[in-house]
Amino acid sequence: MQLRRLRIEALGEDLFFDPAWDMMLDIFVCDLTQQRNPTSVVGRSAGIPHSTALRWLAALERRNLIKREPDRTDARRVYVALTTEGFTKMRLWMESELLQGL
């Protein structure tokens, strides 16, 4: 995620704008660190409006990459996490990228 930010700073975000990927990275990091990630934060971290984030989350959910979990204590809040399939695909992609870099 830090490399993406550096790339945006150097070359501009208009060349590399990919909200679905930014959201998947954010959710992956939260899953790795065992943090709960509300839908409102996922959209902000990707730099997109909440309504746009909800559309992208719906698309990711249809592909069985993420799941939404309602907050048991606050009905207004919904958390987002990777499905087992989504987490596995992200982990395998990260591992292949790391191996290619060696």
Q: What is the pTM of this model?
A: 0.80
Q: What is the largest CA-CA distance in the chain?
A: 46
CB contact at 8 A, 81 and 27 = yes
The residue to which tokens 């954010």 are assigned: 26
Which helix H or strand E contains 37, and what residues bound it? Answer: strand 37-38
Indicate the domain borders of the chain.
2-101
CA separation for the pair 48, 35 (Å, rounded): 21
Does the pLDDT of residue 102 top 60, yes or no?
A: no
Q: What is the pLDDT of residues 38-87, one digit of tens each?
A: 998 998 888 889 999 999 999 999 999 999 999 999 988 999 999 999 99
Average pLDDT along the chain: 86
Q: Which CATH code is given to the segment(s) 2-101?
A: 1.10.10.10
